[in-house]
Amino acid sequence: MERRKVTFKLYPNATEAERLTGWIRLHCELYNAALEERIDAYRKHGKSISYYDQQNVLPEIKADRPEFVELGSHALQQTLRKLDLAFQAFFRRVKSVQTPGFPRFKANKRFAGFCYPDPAGWKLLQNGGRGATLRIGSGKSAMSIRARGQHRFGDGAKPNDLTITRKNGEWYASVTLRVSEDACARARSGDATRGIDFGLNDWATFDNGETIANPRFVCREMPRMADLQRQQARKQRGSIRSRRLGSQAAKLHERIGNLRRDFLHKQTSRMVRECAVLATEELRTRHMSRSASGTKEKPGRMVKQKAGLNREILSAGLSMAHQMLAYKAAEAGTRLHVANTRQLKPSQRCAACWAIVAKTLAQRTHVCSHCGHTAQRDQNAASVVLIDAHTPGTGVAARPKPLSRQRAKSKSVTRETPATESQDS
């Protein structure tokens, strides 16, 4: 059994939204009260209170405050568990001599949502296509909230838990499904073998010279974001206008995130669908941003902000792409090879003769001083990781210049699923 999370957008009507907001307020109140209890007990009696101490008081609270009853006891327990996790993380970091922040009281506005840890107290009904209904609560007080979303795992998928969140005034329901491995499997339409180099000028370059351009939102939405932040900086902090701009910026942030996720899902799905072998290199976080500083003659404006945005948008995209490739490759039975960057140095190595040819980031063409091989820089790097995928580590012995071995643990990794692999052959 695999676990897959799917998120549905909720469309509560005014009454339902008001009730959900009230529920979040109560969960938030419980969280803060439990935190206060822990702090008090420690200050006054030097005693620490455990999760179970707090869980055992829940029936009393419900007797005292009947409005808590309809939230469901497991959901309430889950909120207490959330606080317990915050404390565990705090103490873990104290032990490892870091400087952790003490668990904080949360403002109702910032409280993200609540969670049902098991399939009791709610039901998600798929009504054909993308339409869905979330039934939540029991008896007369139950709500049927309109939802939108779809998953590909079929009727066999068993719901496991539900998290309801509120973000920028919109409501979402995330459901974890338990899915059989067969239902997770992806169809594959091709058996290509590809090396990929992810970069900044083009989002991806393949070993055969094909490229995927950077998604347009990077250059289209980013200036708007910088503009909003600039405007907000001119307003008085905490004023209505400043807050209005803040929420606009938050919405734009979310929009960029959605566009990026959509782009990455489509591209990685296509790569995995068309290829039997995919090779790429480990993620380097250092080189991830295009210089915003410009040149000496033509210095860039808003250098810091632009660099920050650039880095954020592009690097977040790449680590997400790597994660997506990993699980999608497993689902499709595609062999994903992740080359060790430091050992292999794909951007410096010649794909034809395996010699190291030093280049700066500005040099866009690979010209080998040993064998004369010429290729576009990223294409050469993609070819190098692809060769490494066929002959990881050992294959280099067949090459003129063997790689120097580094620490044993820093080997290139190949992920594959034996089950699906054997079906193919």
Query: Which residues does residue 144 pair with via DSSP β-bridges, in sequence order?
Result: 135
Q: Which of 30, 352, 396, 403 binds Zn ion (CB under 5 A)?
A: 352
- Using DSSP bridges, classify how beta strands 170-179 and 158-167 pair: parallel, antiparallel or unpaired: antiparallel
| Whole-angstrom distance, CA of residue 318 vs CA of residue 278 | 16
The residue among 260 and 366 lying less far from Zn ion, judged by its C-beta, is: 366
The residue among 156 and 400 lying less far from Zn ion, judged by its C-beta, is: 400
Q: Report if residue 367 touches Zn ion, rule: CB under 5 A.
A: no
Stretch that binds Zn ion, among 31-39, 136-144, 170-178, 372-380 (CB under 5 A): 372-380
* Residue (of 378, 377, 376) closest to 280 by Cα position: 378
Q: Report if residue 370 touches Zn ion, rule: CB under 5 A.
A: yes
| Whole-angstrom distance, CA of residue 156 vs CA of residue 180 | 8
The residue among 19 and 373 lying less far from Zn ion, judged by its C-beta, is: 373
Q: Which of 75, 228, 329, 350 binds Zn ion (CB under 5 A)?
A: 350
The residue among 310 and 379 lying less far from Zn ion, judged by its C-beta, is: 379
Stretch that binds Zn ion, among 147-155, 297-305, 345-353, 380-388 (CB under 5 A): 345-353
Question: What is the biggest distance separating any 2 CA atoms in the chain, rounded to whole angstroms?
Answer: 83
Q: Which of 353, 367, 393, 417 binds Zn ion (CB under 5 A)?
A: 353
CB of 356 to Zn ion, least distance (A): 10
Calculate helix-pair angle for 240-274, 303-332, nearest 10 degrees: 40
Q: What are phi and psi of 315, to 5 degrees?
A: -75, -40
Residues sharing a CB contact under 8 Å with residue 220, sequence separation 6 or more, in sequence order: none
The residue among 112 and 353 lying less far from Zn ion, judged by its C-beta, is: 353
Cβ-contact 275, 334 below 8 angstroms: yes
Stretch that binds Zn ion, among 145-153, 162-170, 353-361, 396-404 (CB under 5 A): 353-361
Find the angle CA(389)-CA(394)-CA(395) to the nearest 5 degrees: 60
Q: Report if residue 175 touches Zn ion, rule: CB under 5 A.
A: no
- Site residues (CB under 5 A) for Zn ion? 350, 352-353, 368, 370-371, 373
